[in-house]
Each structure stands twice: as structure tokens, then as C-alpha cells.
A and B are shown apart, each in its own frame.
Chain A
Amino acid sequence: MSGFGGFLLRRAVGAVITLLAISVLVYVVFYATPGNVAQITCGPRCSPEQVRQVAEQLKLDDPLYLRYWHFLVGLIAGQDYSTGTSVAHCSAPCLGLSYQSDQQVLDIILTKLPVSLSLVLGAMVLWLILGVGTGVLSAWRRGRFTERLLTGLTLAGWATPVFVIGLVLMIVVCGELQLLPFPQYVNLTDDPEQWAWNLLLPWLSLALIEAAAFARMTRASMLETLAEDHIRTFRAYGVAERTIVVRHALRGALAPVIALNANNVGSAIGGAVLTETLFGLPGIGQELVHAVNVVDLPVVVGMVLVIGFFVVLANAVADVLYAVADRRVVLT
């Protein structure tokens, strides 16, 4: 196989293997975790008899490999679950039922994912504009006052925790100035305008932190490219410094920026817990933390798989972008 189709196929196969490996790992880790899962699931006031029932219902006493086998079967063929009084069918791809709520894990993911995607993709646009812009500006104005100012600002941004920025933004913009109401998540499909207005502050606070890393990375990468021989060629032919920076140096400096972006988008989908918590966004990160606390294994596995999927996807997109940016790169 060769060409773009072959690349996609190889990537897809690789992704499936990676995700299966992740799921095995999560199962093993949770199996080894101390604590009585049935007791936690049932609640503190359950009698030993009730706890036993829960353990039986959730098949907690089965050996690890059998539980993982059931998970795989459910994923491929679907599964029926007894909820005590009735039987619920969960069709393929079935990630199981939550121990806590008896809801299907897939349904939980599908309600949380749009929130996380809205937050991260919106913030990404902002952090790329802010970060790359700042990086380019400080590389162009290297050694001057502008650069020192920008370097100071980005370092400050990098060092500030997201909840400090977020809180300050909320207090100033929503509290003191009353320019915006306190954020509350609105679905994009329900009201696009409100969706954007309500996400503006979360976007900003996530983006400001991330932009700092991008600014540093872009600046370093630009300075490296600016020292290359082909830049000297264009200087020696009277091309203006601004054109050299924007047209020639930026293009050469993009590769590490693309790589960093793929990484950060992928991990922010499940990892923007602080931002989600601060602004009350019911996203993947928040749900994952909750599920880990109550040892809700099916939800944790499902969430981790979704996050893993986006990390793999983001990296595949990055590889395609490399090839678009640099014709010498061949996708394999």
C-alpha cells in the first residue's frame, strides 16, 4: 500500500492497537487498586447483603481476563445488562454501563464530548493566534524592548495557574465591569451566539496559558531558522526583513509548532479539568475525575479511550500538516 490511502489505513490499524493496549492497561490498574468497589458503588449505608448483590450484579468477582473479555464482546457485539429488576440492551459499540448511574457510557461520553471539544478547539484558535503571533514578533524584534516585554509577559503567563487567570477574568469582566454574565454552558446547536459568548472567558483563560508555551516554542524555532543559510541568501538579495521573517522563517519554523499543537489539543480534551471546573463546564475532564473517585471502571475506560482517540487523531492530522508544509516529507 502506498499514498494517502495507505497512510490512513496504517494509521487506523495503529490507532486500534494503541487504544486496545490502553484499555488493557486501565483494567489492570483498576484491578490492582485497593478498596471495595462494590461498597463504594452501593454507598456507605448499604448492608453487607446489599454489597454482595451489587458485586454479583456488576460481576466484580469474575477474574480480570473474563471481565476484559466481556468488555471486548460488548464493544464488538453489544451486550445485555441486568439492572436488578429489568434487562437493558446496550448495542455495539457498547462501552458498558456506569456502575453509578446505570447509564450507558457511550451516552455519557456523547453528552460530555461536545463541551470539551467546544472548549479546546475554540481555545486552540486563540492560543495559535496569540502564541505564534507573539513568537514571530519576538523573533523579529529580537534584542529590542518589544522582545523583552513579550518574553516577560509570556513567562508570566506560563507561570500563572489557570484558575488564577480564570478567576481574575471572571471577577473583572463578569463581576466588576459586568460586560458578560457569569459563564454557563449553552449548546452550539441551541444558540450559537450564546454558546460563543459563554465560552469566551474559558477560551481566553485556557488559551493564555497555552499561548505562552507556543510563543516560547515559536520564538526559539524562528531564531533557529533565521540563522540558516537560505535566510542569509534573501538578506543578501535585499529582501526586506519583514518578508524574510513572515515568508521564509515562519514556514521553516512551523514543524515543532504543529507537533506541540497536536499534543496539546489531544491532551486538553481530557485534561482541561481546572478550566472546566472553574467555569462549570460539564466536560470530559470533570467527568473523568469524578469517575476515578468513585472507581466507576466502565466510565473511566470509556473516557480514557476517547481521550486516547483524540491524541492519536491529532497526531495523524499533524503528520498530514507536516507533509503539506514541507514537500520533502513523505507520509508512511
Chain B
Amino acid sequence: MSLVQVTDLTVEFGDLKAVGGLSFTLEQGAALALVGESGSGKSTVASALLGLHNGTGARVGGSIQVAGTAVHEASDDELRRLRGAKAAMVFQDPLSSLDPYYAIGDQIAEVYRVHTRVSRRAARARAVEVLDRVGIPDAQRRSRSRPHEFSGGMRQRALIAMALACEPDLLIADEPTTALDVTVQAQILDLLHTLREETGMGLLLVTHDVGVAAESVDEVLVMRHGRVVEHGPVADVLGSPAEEYTRDLLAAVPRVDARRAARENASSDPGAQDAQDVVLEATGLRREFGRGKGAFAAVDDVSLTIRRGETLGVVGESGSGKTTLGRMLVGLLEPTTGEVRYEGHARVGVNPAVQMVFQDPVSSLNPRRSVGESIADPIRARGERDEKRIRGRVTELLERVGLEGAHYDRYPHEFSGGQRQRVGIARALAADPRVIVCDEPVSALDVTTQAQVVALLGELQRELGLALVFVAHDLAVVRQVSDRVAVMRRGRIVESGPADEVYDNPQDPYTKQLLAAVPALDPQVAARRRAARRELAAA
């Protein structure tokens, strides 16, 4: 009998059909990835496997068999015996997925004791054992730590340890690495791979990232609008997709090993640049946070120049100081030492010619004001009082970013994530800037939307001669948009240069490590890289 057998599964939330007629099977010890964009219903399926929709008001139809339990008709008690014992789940956000008030070892022990009749002491010992197994150093001592004392990667290891505690037959991982840095992601994916080899458990991986799927599974199921688009062995689906949607999805995924498409813009030619072209220049920027013993420098001695019409990519992991740097360039933060010069002149405070596009299009727009009003703010701030002209200019900007002038009076919640980011870009353009600093402008978006927003930024740059500073953690996206790249680590730039040089021939060991950690779309390449990482770790 199969480990998982889902037949004609439907899940409805009120009027919304999240999953419609989905069927698949997963054999003992096999690995399957559910891949899709947000809203495709992939996480809903994962939750349905453990009966987590019970009591939430969702209507679940069809049949679900997991490790010998008929989930669709199981009682609460039967479900509890399944959850954690035979099928365990690892969630996306490891910070919020653990109880902040209890020690990590105690939380794992609690789950273990739910399913086994052992003493507290024995459960605690088991917790230390599994923590050690997932590579938490000094597990005995660290098991007494609370979640906030762990880094993101260690928290995710702890959650995986919790999943392993009862030796389940099936591990369900719902976006297990989405909240993590790329190097940590590689470690976690390698850990899952090793554990699967050793324990022979089945893996159901839910992810929006095709690369993550390629690294980790044997079979892929592509979902869209709650239905199966394509299902087959990973090499076939990713190598020669049969469906158009799969092809579009794969085409939208930025590749770290592909060069940027050539542009007609002459400024990308490094030889043609001279000092006059420099619009923004930062010298010796340093920014400290905290005081006394708690003080640390988020950005330390960073110097860079941005030329007219070019894109400078700033790439780094979380905590590398890239956002702090971006804010100092715009003037939202004052540097502790060093200065930012705009067209040769030192600036203090916010400079209207340098604008910013923020990461989260949900929280960076005021939900209680129409998007037109938000875009009009910079225009009003410059002293424009003529309502007709303001409205005309906003309409023009809305149309420029691919929205409609009639959207002026709509509110942010009426737009999709990609549309909201277009509104954010329109707002940045409203001040007629020469430079736009984009802080993770596409990291909250699906790949197809991401590709559209990146294309829009490129278009605007060509037409308006804008200089862009593109701050992001995603190495592939940065390569697709940048003329030059600066790699940041712990507040410093460790390597910078023309994008293709840095990516094709990295000099700094950290850059090498970052590039090696990017998931490859080709499963064979992924396997080779994993082997290389293992060797590197063993050496």
C-alpha cells in the first residue's frame, strides 16, 4: 500500500475552491514536490494530509490515506495518533513555529511524550538525541535554549528534530527553507536529503521555488488554481515540460548561471564611463546601532559609485547590512561616519532625486488611503497645489507602470502583490528621481510576477535614464538586472565588479560559497553540487 494516496481531493473555504479534484500517490520512501505559485493550493493540500482543516470551517472532499489512516473519515483521536507519530510536518517560518516561552528540548520532549509512554527524563534524552542528529552543536546544553536564542537555520533544524522524534514514515515540509538565507537553505536541504537516505522516510515537499524542488525530490507535481498542471519525474517535468504553464513558470525563474540579456543602452559598456557620469557616490559609509557594549556597525566602511543609467546590484544574506546601506543612500538614515554625495555635492537629509522602492508592497502602502493619494504625496511634498495637475500626473504615472488611471481611487487591498509593487514604483517615480534604490523589490512576489516587475524596472531605466541600486538576497535576480554587483557580508563589501565577472569568476571565498549554495534547476547538476558541498564539509 502506498504511503500517501490522495483521490479526488477538494478543499473549499466558503465560496473559494482552493483545491479541486486533486489525486496523487506517494510510495514508501519516495519524495514528491508540490510546486506552485501563491494561491495555487499547495499548502492547503499539505494541511489536508494531516486533517488540519478540521474545525476551521473548510469543507474537505475526496479521500486521503496517509500511512494507513483514512484521514478524511478519521476521528479526532485517530488524527492525533497520526500527527507527529506517523506523519510529521515542518513549517515555513521557524521563528513563529516554536513556542517562544519554552525551552526547545522541552517542546520536542512534549511532542514525544504525546505519542510514547515514557518518562519525562527519557523524553528529554530523546530530544537531545534528535537535536544532535540534525546537527545542533552541543545539543545537551542548547536543548535548554529558547527559540529566540537560536538563529533561523538552527530553529529550522530544531523543527526538523521535532519531526524526527517519533520516527515518522512521512515528512511533510511546507516551504521549509523560504525564510532562510541561501547558504542556510543549502544546509537544510542537504540535511533533509541525508535524513531521507538514512531513515527511508517519505518526503512531501511544498515549495514555490523550482530550484528547491529540483534539489530534493524524485517527482514533481505542478499545481495551479488548485489543480494539477503536470506530474512526473523531476528530470522530465523540469527538463522537458509538456504543459505551457510549466514552461512559463520555468522561463520566469531567474538563472544564476545565465548572463543578463544584452541591452541597447550604451552605459552598460564600462569603457564609455567617465567621472561625470557618477550621480551618487558614497565614501567610507559606516553606521552603528546601539550604544556602549551593545553597539555594532551594521555597515562598515562602504564606498561605492552609481553612474547614470546603470544598475548596481547589492547582494547579501540577512544581517549583511544591505538594507541599512540602501537607507543611507536615500537619506532615510544618517551615516555615523562617511558621506553620500549626489552629483558631487554632499547631502544631508532626504534627497528627492534619490527615491526608494520598498520590499513589502503590503505594509509600505497606507491601507486607509487610495493608491492615487499615496502616489500624489511626493508631488504635494514639492509644493504642487493644483489638484487637476496632480491628478493628471498621477494618472500618467499609473499608466506608465502598467496600471490604469482609473485606479486612482482604489485602495491597496484591491490590488495583487505585483500591482501593489507597481504602485510603489509609481510613487518613487512621482518625485522625478535620478536614482531609485530598490530594497528587495521582488522578494515577496511569485516568479512570474517577479519577472514582470523586473522587466518594468528595466524599461523605466532605459526610458528615463534612471540609475538603479538593486538590493536583494536572491543572487539570480540580481544577476538578471545588474551591470555591476557588490557582494556584502557583515557590513562590508567583500567583492565588487562587473556582474558577469563576479558571477563567472568569483574571487572571494564568501562569494564562491554563496554561488555554490544557489539551488540548480537541473537535478543532475544539483546532485553534483551536493556531493561537492559534502566533500567541502568533510575536508
Contacts and interface: CB of A to CB of B under 8 A. Distances in A.
| Chain B interface bracket (under 10, 10 to 19, 20 to 34, 35 or more) | 20 to 34
Contact of A251 (B50, B98, B101): B101
Nearest to A229: B96
Interface in B133-157: 146, 148
B84 interface: yes
B100 A236 contact: no
Given A229-B96, A230-B96, A239 B91 contact: no
Interface string B107-127: 000110011000000000000
A252 B114 contact: no
Given A238-B81, A238-B82, A230 B88 contact: no
What is the interface of chain A mostly: helix, strand, loop, or mixed?
A: helix
Contacts of A327: 101, 146, 148
A293 interface: no
A240 B101 CA distance: 18
B91 A328 contact: no
Interface string B227-264: 00000000000000000000000000000000000000
B115 to A, nearest CB: 6
A112 interface: no
B504 to A, nearest CB: 41
B83 A237 contact: yes
Nearest to B52: A236
Query: Which one of A235, A236, A325 has the highest number of Cβ atoms from chain B below 10 Å of its Cβ?
Result: A236
Interface string A222-247: 00000011101111111110000001
B100 A237 contact: no
A228 B146 CA distance: 17
Contacts of B82: 238
Interface string B17-40: 000000000000000000000000
A229 to B, nearest CB: 4
B197 interface: no
Interface in B363-392: none
B98 A230 contact: yes
Contacts of A251: 99, 101
A159 B429 CA distance: 55
Nearest to B54: A235
Given A252-B100, A326-B100, A328-B100, A240 B114 contact: yes
Contacts of B102: 248
Contact of A238 (B80, B91, B96, B99): B80
Given A238-B85, A252-B101, A229 B146 contact: no
Given A229-B91, A327-B146, A238 B98 contact: no
Nearest to A244: B99
B80 A325 contact: no
Given A327-B146, A328-B146, A236 B50 contact: yes
B488 interface: no
A230 B114 contact: no
B97 A232 contact: yes
Q: Which 5 A-B pairs have the closest CB atoms?
A: A237-B84, A238-B83, A229-B96, A238-B80, A237-B111
Given A233-B91, A234-B110, A234-B111, 20 more contacts: A228-B96, A229-B96, A229-B97, A230-B96, A232-B91, A232-B97, A233-B97, A233-B162, A235-B83, A236-B83, A236-B89, A238-B85, A239-B80, A239-B114, A240-B80, A248-B102, A251-B101, A252-B99, A252-B101, A328-B148
